């Protein structure tokens, strides 16, 4: 048992049986013993697919940790293992120091999971009635439950619609009611599986701010977030892991992951009223020879107007030297822009989904 981390997985493996049968079905006379029958029946279940292939994660207390990955990468499987809904085949997983396989009851006391497909709400009951039902299942006393429900309905801005039937709720309201349920009992760890899918941009932003500002920063909860939304991950996660075909292929802060695959950024400068002449051609050569500069491309139109220059530089380069070279030539600068690799660029490169985009920004 390791108490240092809120969540820890060690060489976690999960295989699912497929329905494809490669073996021929059992026929009379083929099996002669009970164990033979069992093994024949097992073969009939077909080959297995590996949803997780040795996943190692260490999530610190109070951290917002994002798990990114394409569809079918194993994100939901990982979350379901952690909330004891799926049993893993190999390796170990601990939540708040408790083994998810051996101590599921203790695990469930310390985490809450918001799984979009596991709504579990009764559509004919009101939002409040649904919450009251779960409050009792969580073992809250009546007064405590009432206070908590009132607070959460206020917190998620559902109070005015609390006595409406759940079926009258919009997707955003349903998602907020899920959050209410997850927070009925105050647990130190919260798991969210794609929490903003289906939400409009304003509701998604509101939800993210709720997770980041209130739950993580104010209440110091550990949050594990699985998402397909890279913007979301970059915006609120302290660290992220990229899960690809059941394996963690990268795990670091969003900034470090962004530069993991690319060691450069692009420095774009736009000029006012300049004609591209020999002197400026020499300036481009000079810039290209500077240490830390990987290349410089002038933007010149058909009338020889020198509109700007795009310079690829080392990610840590001091840009003042470049500006000095330009200013010496008396060029008037209209705009300066620095393009850095996005998490999406890194994600595409790491998961091999954008092989043709190994150089970004082009």
Partner 1 sequence: MEIPIELKQIIAFTKRDFHSWTTYKALVITQIINVFIGVFSWGVGAAYVQKPVSEMYGSDYISFLVVGIAIGNLIMPLAQGFQALNPWTLETILMTGISTPVFVIGNVMWTYIFSILTFIPYLLIGIYFFHVKLNANIPSVIAAFTISAAILMGLAMISTGLRIVTKSTDPITWAINVLGNLFAGITFPVVYLNTIFFPGISAISWLLPQTWVYHLCRLSMLTNASLLDPKILIQFLEGSIFAVVLFPIGYKIFQWGVARSKREGTLGWY
Judged by the rule CB under 8 A, the positions of this chain that interact with partner 1 are 14, 16-17, 51, 77, 80, 83-87, 89, 104-105, 108-109, 112-113, 115, 117-120, 122, 124-125, 129, 132-134, 136-139, 165
Q: Which residue has the tokens 């939540």?
A: 95
Cβ distance to partner 1 smaller for residue 137 or 202:
137
Question: What's the closest the beta carbon of residue 189 comes to partner 1, in angstroms?
Answer: 13
Closest to partner 1 by CB, 133 vs 259, is: 133
Choose among 172, 233, 174, 241: nearest CA to 207. 172
CB closer to partner 1 out of 118 and 357: 118
Three-state DSSP at 36 gives helix
CB of 186 to partner 1, least distance (A): 15
Rounded distance between C-alpha atoms, residue 43 and residue 25, angstroms: 9
Select 90 or 255, whichever has its Cβ closest to partner 1. Answer: 90
Q: What does the alpha-carbon distance between residue 108 and residue 96 come to, in Å, rounded to a whole number?
A: 10
Q: Hey, is 204 helix, strand or coil?
A: helix
Q: Which residues contact 151 (CB under 8 A, 6 or more apart)?
A: none
Least CB distance to partner 1 at residue 239 (A): 25
Task: Give 114 or 237: the residue with its C-beta nearer to partner 1.
Answer: 114
User: Minimal distance in Å, beta carbon 312 to partner 1?
Assistant: 46
Beta carbon of residue 249, minimum distance to partner 1 (angstroms, whole number): 22
- Closest to partner 1 by CB, 22 vs 355, is 22
- Burial class (CB within 10 angstroms; exposed 0-12, middle 13-18, buried 19+) of 42: exposed
List, edge to edge, every strand of the sheet that includes 239-244: 111-114, 189-193, 222-227, 64-68, 239-244, 247-252
Rounded to 5, what percent of the chain is helix, strand, coil? Answer: 35, 30, 35
The distance of closest approach from Cβ of residue 113 to partner 1 in the complex, given in angstroms and rounded to an integer, is 6
Judged by CB, which is closer to partner 1: 180, or 250? Answer: 180
- Cβ of 191: how many Cβ atoms within 10 Å? 26
Tell me which residue has tokens 């329905």.
19
At its nearest, how many Å lie between partner 1 and the CB of residue 121?
8
CB of 160 to partner 1, least distance (A): 21
Asked whether the beta carbons of 308 and 339 are under 8 A apart, the reply is no
- Alpha-carbon distance of 13 to 91, in angstroms, equals 6
The span from the CA of 279 to the CA of 286, in Å, is 10
Q: 118 or 277, CB closer to partner 1?
A: 118
* Residue among 2, 5, 7 at smallest CA distance from 191: 7
């Amino acid at each position: 048992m390791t108490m240092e981390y809120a969540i820890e997985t060690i060489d976690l493996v999960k295989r699912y049986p497929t329905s494809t049968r490669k073996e021929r079905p059992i026929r009379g006379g083929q099996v002669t013993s009970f164990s033979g029958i069992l093994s024949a029946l097992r073969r009939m279940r077909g080959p297995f697919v590996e949803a997780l292939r040795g996943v190692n994660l260490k999530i610190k207390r109070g951290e917002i940790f994002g798990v990114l990955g394409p569809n079918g990468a194993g994100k939901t499987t990982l979350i379901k293992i952690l909330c004891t809904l799926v049993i893993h085949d190999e390796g170990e997983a601990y939540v708040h120091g408790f083994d998810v396989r051996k101590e599921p009851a203790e695990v469930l006391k310390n985490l809450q999971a918001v799984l979009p497909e596991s709504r579990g709400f009764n559509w004919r009951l009101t939002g409040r009635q649904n919450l009251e039902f779960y409050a009792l299942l969580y073992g809250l006393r009546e007064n405590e439950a009432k206070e908590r429900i009132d607070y959460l309905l206020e917190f998620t801005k559902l109070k005015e619609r609390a006595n409406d039937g759940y079926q009258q709720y919009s997707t955003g309201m349903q998602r907020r009611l899920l959050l209410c349920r997850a927070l009925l009992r105050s647990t130190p760890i919260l798991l969210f599986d794609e929490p903003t899918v289906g939400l409009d941009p304003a509701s998604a932003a509101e939800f993210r701010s709720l997770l980041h500002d209130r739950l993580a920063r104010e209440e110091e909860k550990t949050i594990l977030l699985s998402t397909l939304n890279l913007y979301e991950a970059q915006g609120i996660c302290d660290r992220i892991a990229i899960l690809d075909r059941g394996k963690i292929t990268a795990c670091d802060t969003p900034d470090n992951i962004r530069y993991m695959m690319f060691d450069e950024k692009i420095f774009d400068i736009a000029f006012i009223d300049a004609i591209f002449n020999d002197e400026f051609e020499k300036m481009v050569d000079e810039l290209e020879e500077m240490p830390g500069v990987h290349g410089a491309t002038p933007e010149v139109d058909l009338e020889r107007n020198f509109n700007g220059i795009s310079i690829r530089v080392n990610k840590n380069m001091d840009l003042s030297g470049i500006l000095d070279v330009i200013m010496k030539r008396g060029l008037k600068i209209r705009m300066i822009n620095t393009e850095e690799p996005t998490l999406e660029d890194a994600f595409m490169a790491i998961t091999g989904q954008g092989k043709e985009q190994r150089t970004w920004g082009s």
